Amino acid sequence: MIIEVSPFIVFKGNCEEAFEFYKSVFGGEYQFIYRYGDVPTNEIPCGYENKILHVSLPLISNVNLMGMDAVGDAHNSEIGMVAIGLRLNDENETFRLFDALSDKGTIAVPLAKTFYADYFGSIVDKFGVAWSFNCNIGRHPII
């Protein structure tokens, strides 16, 4: 079952600056903020250690403005893009939606277990709409 839908903005390196602005406009505090340097591997692209891997700013109940800095050419937009973020709590539904929306589209990040989610992945569908999937089953959702 989908439990939350959130706008997700992908930036070309200025995510932190943008979210500091959004925080000043909307108020509140970050629910989560992670940098690429927080990833527990050595696979961080050089120069991205302090860039934003994920940030979440609550706007209203069950609606968060989320964002990240794109790595390399992961997203081709010059000024960033908006993705629809789906947070789910059902593994089968996560895979069903991911497979259905990625049909004739492009998988940007394959759906897989991560250090912050039971399953995370992202796609751009056949219409050019970006979707981000985050599934956490029985544990505190991070993203």
Nearest-angstrom CA–CA distance, 136 and 134: 7
d(CA 32, CA 80): 20
The predicted pLDDT at position 135 comes to 92
Q: Kindly report the backbone phi and psi dihedral angles of residue 95, in degrees, each rounded to the nearest multiple of 5, phi listed first.
A: -65, -40
Kindly report the pTM of this predicted structure. Answer: 0.64
Q: Among residues 101, 111, 31, 34, which one has the least CA distance to residue 65?
A: 31
Work out the pLDDT band at 140, boundaries 50, 70, 90. Answer: low
Q: Are 114 and 84 in contact (CB under 8 A)?
A: no
Structure token pair of residue 66: 């989320």
Tokens 């940098």 appear where? 35
Which pLDDT tens digit goes with each residue over 30-57?
Answer: 998 999 888 877 677 778 889 998 999 9
Q: 94-126 in b/e burial notation, b at 16+ Cβ within 10 A? A: bbebbeebbeebeebeebeeeebbbbbbbbbbe
Give the model's pLDDT for residue 139: 61
Domains of the chain: 2-135 (3.10.180.10)
Whether 72 has a pLDDT exceeding 70, the answer reads no
Inter-residue contact 81 to 130 (CB < 8 Å): yes
Quote the pLDDT of residue 98.
Answer: 93
